[in-house]
Copies of this chain bind each other. A is one copy, B any other.
Amino acid sequence: MRRRNPLSATLAERTDAGLRAGAFGHATSLSCRECGHQVALGPHYACPECFGPLEVAYDYPAVTREEIEAGPSNMWRYKALLPVPSDIEDSPNTEPGFTRLLEARNLAAELGLTRLWVKDDSTNPTNSFKDRVVACALSAARELGSKVFACPSTGNLANAVAAAGARAGIKTVVFIPSNLEKPKQVNSAVYTDKLVAVEGNYDDVNKLASEIAGEEEGWAFVNVNVRPYYAEGSKTLGYEIAEQLGWRLPDQVVIPVASGAQLTKVDKAFQELISLGLVEEKPYKVYGAQATGCSPVATAFKADTDAIRPVKPDTIAKSLAIGNPADGIYVLDICRRTGGAVEDVSDEEVREGILLLARTEGIFTETAGGTTVGVLRKLVESGRLDPTLETVVINTGMGLKTLDAVADRVGPAATIDPTYAAFTATGLAD
């Protein structure tokens, strides 16, 4: 695992002295998840001692349910628990979050569950949960005095960064593989005139981004040098689930696993809520969902090992296709600790999951959501998820972005002449 901290000698030195008070809210430092070493808040992401990943640490304030409920209908209602300043609402951002938590009675009945909810992040500003993490990264970039907001991405992240950067009025550069499908290019290029197509695959794009981060001063790559702040945004999914359930935790939660960061942050959110006294402590099980074509964490879970072997992704669930997931080991820890599991489903089951969710609950998810619903079904059928316990499944994105996955599966039931007789002949009136 090669980790570099390219900005530590440039942006960091320039800004560490210049941070305004409360720039990162109640965050106190960056703490290494491996060795516990503490680093001052700044554009750092790897431990200088052991190269482990850095995570934001806080001196948590006292915060009440009422204070949170009095906040805005977006993720900033939880700003006291995020690495953002208390005036975050005053700086232009896409105002994501506080998305629907829908009770899914039809899907529950279909799967034989007693009580099931869908946390639906497809209705975020650019239609995926990435708006949450990017909003935290944008705040960090602003507070660090970054000149450029950037990312390498093939999809949801590119959309979210390009949109947030436009709204913030910051120079925004998005790097994509040059062979990306035209519609996906358009969905980022509409926001920025600084989209850069790179001849090569996603790994090549990523490598170039790291190189630029190391050479150029003042660039905030959301998923590279401001990653610790970025990742914290996913905690809001956990906070919202608890608040929307009436300030309590679910018994079971099923979460898609790409890098694994989202799953670990939802667990972190639940733990924070317990220790802050905002919800009652109770056992809950966390389940991870992968597509079989990119299932290194599920494979390790099943083999009862901590050794996650990188894979070359081959699945239609492209937004989950990270072959060497940075947080995989923490996903294993959490799923084992809580009594959950990590499971994977085939591309065929992903497609079925998309249709199942659409037909039962009117939610059109992308392939990541199809994966999660497919895994939910598989876990129920194999008896590893208790159907009598309250369960939440997270939908992270929107089906319009991956139309091809189901385009050849659905269509008109009939094509008719424009007459009543032709319609009754279809039998659809019966």
The answer to whether A303 has its CB under 8 Å from any CB of chain B is no
The answer to whether A226 has its CB under 8 Å from any CB of chain B is no
State the Cβ distance, A153 to closest chain B Cβ, in Å. Answer: 14
- Knowing A196-B426, A418-B207, A423-B208, say if A162 contacts B400 (CB, 8 Å): no
Tell me whether B420 and A215 are in contact (CB under 8 A): yes
Interface pick from A197-205, A229-237, A385-393: A197-205
* Closest partner residue, chain B, to A216 (CB atom): B429
Q: Provide the residues of chain B in CB contact with A423, threshold 8 Å.
A: 196, 208, 212
Q: Provide the residues of chain B in CB contact with A216, threshold 8 Å.
A: 429
Which residues in window 33-78 of A have CB below 8 A to B?
73-74
Docked pose: A211 CA to B421 CA in angstroms? 10
State the Cβ distance, A5 to closest chain B Cβ, in Å. Answer: 17
The answer to whether A106 has its CB under 8 Å from any CB of chain B is yes
- Knowing A193-B359, A418-B198, say if A412 contacts B187 (CB, 8 Å): no
Tell me whether B358 and A191 are in contact (CB under 8 A): yes
With beta carbons under 8 angstroms apart, the residue of B106, B194, B195, B429 that contacts A92 is: B106
Interface pick from A246-254, A304-312, A403-411: A403-411
Q: Provide the residues of chain B in CB contact with A74, threshold 8 Å.
A: 100
Q: Provide the residues of chain B in CB contact with A412, threshold 8 Å.
A: 176, 178, 185, 189, 195-197
Q: Provide the residues of chain B in CB contact with A163, threshold 8 Å.
A: 358, 362-364
Interface centre among A98, A123, A190, A199 (most CB of B within 10 A): A190
Q: Provide the residues of chain B in CB contact with A102, threshold 8 Å.
A: 95, 167
- Knowing A196-B412, A420-B211, say if A362 contacts B73 (CB, 8 Å): no
The answer to whether A86 has its CB under 8 Å from any CB of chain B is no
Q: Provide the residues of chain B in CB contact with A191, threshold 8 Å.
A: 358-359, 362, 364
- Knowing A123-B123, A364-B187, say if A192 contacts B359 (CB, 8 Å): yes
Q: Provide the residues of chain B in CB contact with A21, threshold 8 Å.
A: none
With beta carbons under 8 angstroms apart, the residue of B195, B403, B410 that contacts A413 is: B195
With beta carbons under 8 angstroms apart, the residue of B127, B166, B187, B195 that contacts A362 is: B166
Q: Provide the residues of chain B in CB contact with A415, threshold 8 Å.
A: 178, 196-199
The answer to whether A419 has its CB under 8 Å from any CB of chain B is yes
Tell me whether A186 and B419 are in contact (CB under 8 A): no
Tell me whether A410 and B199 are in contact (CB under 8 A): no
State the Cβ distance, A51 to closest chain B Cβ, in Å. Answer: 23
Docked pose: A211 CA to B98 CA in angstroms? 43
Which residues in window 360-391 of A have CB below 8 A to B?
360-364
Tell me whether B416 and A199 are in contact (CB under 8 A): yes
Tell me whether B413 and A193 are in contact (CB under 8 A): yes
Q: Provide the residues of chain B in CB contact with A168, threshold 8 Å.
A: 362
Tell me whether B212 and A413 are in contact (CB under 8 A): no
The answer to whether A323 has its CB under 8 Å from any CB of chain B is no
Q: Provide the residues of chain B in CB contact with A165, threshold 8 Å.
A: 362
Q: Provide the residues of chain B in CB contact with A192, threshold 8 Å.
A: 359
Tell me whether A399 and B166 are in contact (CB under 8 A): no
Docked pose: A413 CA to B193 CA in angstroms? 6
Tell me whether A189 and B410 are in contact (CB under 8 A): yes
With beta carbons under 8 angstroms apart, the residue of B73, B196, B199, B426 that contacts A428 is: B196
Interface centre among A166, A194, A412, A419 (most CB of B within 10 A): A412
State the Cβ distance, A215 to closest chain B Cβ, in Å. Answer: 6
- Knowing A193-B413, A200-B418, say if A407 contacts B162 (CB, 8 Å): no
Q: Provide the residues of chain B in CB contact with A358, threshold 8 Å.
A: 163, 166, 190-191
Tell me whether A197 and B359 are in contact (CB under 8 A): no
Q: List 13 A-B contacts (CB under 8 A).
A: A73-B73, A73-B98, A123-B125, A126-B364, A163-B358, A178-B412, A178-B415, A190-B354, A193-B359, A196-B416, A199-B415, A208-B423, A211-B420
11 extra A-B contacts, CB within 8 A, seeds A192-B359, A197-B414, A211-B420: A166-B360, A183-B407, A186-B410, A187-B399, A190-B406, A194-B413, A195-B412, A196-B416, A198-B416, A208-B420, A212-B423
